[in-house]
Amino acid sequence: MWRNREIQLFTIVMILIAAVFSGAAAFFLSGAAALVVLAASALLVGCSLIFTKWRYREIEKLSGYLRRISNGDYDLDVRDNYEGELSILKSDIYKVTLMLSEQSSHLEQDKIKLTNAISDISHQLKTPLTSMTVMADLLSDKNLEESKRDEFTKNITVQLERIEWLVSSLLKISRIDAGTVVFKKNEVPVRDLIDRAVQPVSIPMDIKEQEILREGDDHVTFTGDLHWTAEALINILKNCVEHTPNGGRITISYSENPLFTEIRVKDSGKGIPKEDLPYIFRRFYKGRNAGEDSVGIGLAMAYSIITGQQGDIEVRSESGVGSEFIIKFYRTERG
C-alpha cells in the first residue's frame, strides 16, 4: 500500500493539516488544546489509513479472483451480503464470471459437436470413396468389358451424387445448429407447401406405382418459412416413399385450430420398430428397416428445421401398418 503515490501524498497532506491546526490551537488557545487537536488528527489519520488498507486488501483479493478466472477457474463466488461500492463491484464481477462460464461451456459443447460431426462425415464418406477408388482402378483396365465399364461409370456417378447430397445436407444442418439460418415468418398456405414438397418425390413414386392422397381445406395456413419447411417435408416424404412398398399409399392431411396448424404424413409401409422410435430423429441413426443407401440424416434435418421454427414433430408407427409423422406449427411462439 505504501508504494502507491496517492497514499504517500494523502499521508503527507494529513500530517501537514494536523501540524497547522495544532500550531494554530497552541498559538490562539493553549498547549492543552493543541494536544487535543493533535491527538484527534492522529486518530483520524490512523483510522483513514486502516480503512484504506482494508480497501486495498479487498481490491487485492478481487485482483487474485480475476487472475484465477483468467486461468479458467469459474467456480469461485466472491459475493457478500453487504452494501457499498465494493459489494456492487463483487456482484458485477460474479455476473461476468457466470457469463464467461456459460460461454466456456458452450464453446466446449461446440468443440464436441464439431469433433463428432467430423467423425460422422468421415465415416459416411469413407464407404463411397472406397467404392469409387476400387471402380476407378477397374476402369483403368483396357481389357475390361464395355458392359462392366458402363456399370462402373454409372455406379461412380451414383456415389458422387450421394456424396453431394450428404455434404449439402450436413452444411444445411450445420447452419441451423450454428444459428445462422434466419427462418422467415410468413403466412404460408399448406397447399403450396405440399405442392413444392411432392414434386421432387413424384418420379420415385411413379416408379414404385405409389399413390398420394391429400386431405384438408385449401385455406389452411401456417406461419413459417416456405422454403425450409418444404425441405423438411421433402425428407419426410422421401422416408415414406422408401419404406412404402410398390402400389402403396401416402396420405397427407392437414387442419388448423386457434392454437396450431397440424400436418400429418402417413404411409402404408412396414412401420418402424418400437425400439427405434425414440431415436428416429437422431443424426446418422439407421433403424432396423433402413435401406442400404440410407444415411440417417434426412429426418434429423426435418427435425432441426421444424423445431427451429418453434414447431413440433413426432412419429407414430405400428408394425405392418405404417408410420405417421405429425407436424405442428403454433400460432404464437412458446416460451
**Secondary structure, 3-state, 272-313:** CCHHHHHHCCCCCCCCCCCCCCCCCCHHHHHHHHHHCCCCEE
Which pLDDT score, from 0 to 100, does residue 75 have?
A: 67
Contacts of 216 (CB under 8 A, 6+ apart): 190, 191, 252, 253, 254, 255
Residues 172 and 190 in one domain: no
Which pLDDT score, from 0 to 100, does residue 265 have?
A: 95
Assign residue 143 the CATH number of its domain.
Answer: 1.10.287.130
108 part of a folded domain? no
Residues 127 and 88 in one domain: no
Number of structural domains the chain divides into: 3
Q: What is the CA radius of gyration of the chain?
A: 36
Per-residue model confidence as pLDDT tens digits over 206-215 = 999 999 999 9
Q: What's the pTM value of the predicted model, to 2 decimals?
A: 0.62
pLDDT at 236 over 90: yes
Range ranked top by mean pLDDT from 39-43, 277-281, 287-291: 277-281
Quickly state the pLDDT bin for 335 (edges 50, 70, 90): very low
Domain limits for position 60:
5-101
DSSP class of residue 215 equals E
The stretch 92-121 carries a mean pLDDT of: 74
Angle (deg, nearest 10), helices 146-178 and 85-139: 170
Residues 127 and 220 in one domain: no
- Which of 88-102, 170-184, 315-329 shows the lowest mean pLDDT across its residues? 88-102
pLDDT over 90, % of the chain: 27
Which pLDDT score, from 0 to 100, does residue 272 have?
A: 84
Which pLDDT score, from 0 to 100, does residue 333 have?
A: 55
Residues 200 and 147 in one domain: no
pLDDT at 78 over 70: no
Per-residue model confidence as pLDDT tens digits over 125-146 = 777 788 888 888 888 888 888 8
> What's the mean per-residue pLDDT of the chain?
81
Per-residue model confidence as pLDDT tens digits over 48-62 = 777 777 777 777 777
